[in-house]
Amino acid sequence: MAETPLMTILKPNITRMSAYAPPLEGRNPHEHLLLDFNERTLPVSHHIKQALIDFIQNDRIQVYPAYGNLNEKIADYAGVKPEQVMITNGSDQGIDIIIRSACSAGDEIIIPSPTFAMYQQCAGVENLKVIEPEYTKDGGFPLQPVLGALSPETGLVVIANPNNPSGTPTSVEDILTIAKAAPDTAILVDECYFEYSKLTIADQVMDFPNILITRTFSKTWGLPSIRLGYVISHPDNINALLNVRGPYDVNQFAAVAIHAALDHPEYTHDYVSEVMEQSKPLFESFLQQKNISFWNSAANFIWAFPENSSVIEQHLRSKGILVRPKASSDGKMGLRVTLGDLAQTQRMVTAFEEALAL
């Protein structure tokens, strides 16, 4: 009997896709200054490390996770009620669950681009038609093109606030304009970089139940390896999304770490202040002095477009500094550079300036 190819038993739209495969190989924080994934560039606080050690030594790894009052602590931090929060396995799971829950195969999804690749990935799995209005350096978020793309077939609108890789912020007024224009359409607002940008629409979710927010403890809090995010929305939405999320999808290590992080938020607040008030102005000033074009960013990274960006990227790599090449919609290659603390940013700027002279 002839062997049946595996691909014939899976959905054709999935077998036609390519995996989202970020360039993770060779990244070693003990050998490189990692400015390529928008991560926190300093280790987490000793409180988190000790909490994880204590958990391991308490011999509970063999027991299913129990989250205690984690939902309440996150809700208190976010300034909302516990019933408006659902914890997730990183914000990626929140994005995936929202798209799966809001859209059916063949629906349209509006994803302004260029942006975080996970949105398109989840849309592809659900076999959605992706509409991509474009961000522009001068115009920012494409409000009018998004409004013009709304139709009865629109299942969801994605707004990354601020956007990645551009760092572009979207005003509360623009988000509410879209929510009002499409009251029966889900609006996913990804606030992954909230601690840096201070931009949020969390106080509007009770008045606009079509808005769903995703956040993460990966970026600012320095915990991407243990995966914890959360969704903020109207309680009716949270109750429905809990039907999709598994009861144990968030691991106990994540719960332990986030409890400790929220008990000692100063390590994050101090880091954010240094990045946004010292490192970011330093790099922006350097780029302006060198007449290098860059997008105005509300986050902890800057998308810059120097000439010979590949030469600069390679020189930085030779100095042990990793940044992320990212092309604009017109094909021009830029460098998305994460900002660390002041000393790390000074080191990067020195190497960047050396590369400009090559």
The answer to whether 142 touches 177, Cβ cutoff 8 Å, is: no
Residues 208 and 328 in one domain: no
- Reply yes or no on whether the pLDDT at 6 is more than 90: no
Task: Find the mean pLDDT for residues 288-299.
Answer: 98
Residue 80 in domain: yes
Residues 129 and 29 in one domain: no
Q: What is the pLDDT of residues 164-195, one digit of tens each?
A: 999 999 999 999 999 999 999 999 999 999 99
SS3 159: strand
Residues 30 and 118 in one domain: no
Residues 341 and 239 in one domain: no
- Reply yes or no on whether the pLDDT at 135 is more than 60: yes
Query: What is the pLDDT at residue 358?
Result: 84
The CATH number covering residue 100 comes to: 3.40.640.10
Residues 212 and 329 in one domain: no
Q: What is the pLDDT of residues 20-33, one digit of tens each?
A: 888 878 888 889 99
Q: Which domain holds residue 225?
A: 59-263
- Lowest-confidence pick of 16-30, 59-73, 168-182, 230-244: 16-30
> Which of 263, 292, 307 is the C-terminal boundary of a domain?
263
Query: What is the pLDDT at residue 8?
Result: 76
Residues 176 and 301 in one domain: no
Give 183-214 as a DSSP string: TTSEEEEE-TTHHHH----GGGTTT-TTEEEE
The length of the chain, given as a count of residues? 358
Instruction: Look at the block and give the residue holding tokens 């202040």.
Output: 273
Residue 2 CB neighbour total at 10 angstroms: 4
Residues 31 and 157 in one domain: no
User: How far, in whole angstroms, is CA 230 from its chain's centroid?
Assistant: 12
Residues 24 and 117 in one domain: no
Q: Alpha-carbon distance 179 to 95, whole Å?
A: 18
Strand pairing partners for 109?
A: 130, 156
Q: Alpha-carbon distance 305 to 325, whole Å?
A: 10
Query: What is the pLDDT at residue 2?
Result: 53
**110 phi and psi angles, rounded to 5 deg:** -95, 115
DSSP state of 7: G
Return left, alpha or beta for 147; rule: phi > 0 is left, psi -120 to 50 is alpha, else beta: alpha
pTM for this prediction: 0.95
What's the total number of domains in the chain?
2
From 220, 345, 336, 194, select the one nearest 279 (Cα to Cα).
345
Helix 342-356 with 309-318: angle, nearest 10 deg: 130
Task: Find the mean pLDDT for residues 83-111.
Answer: 98
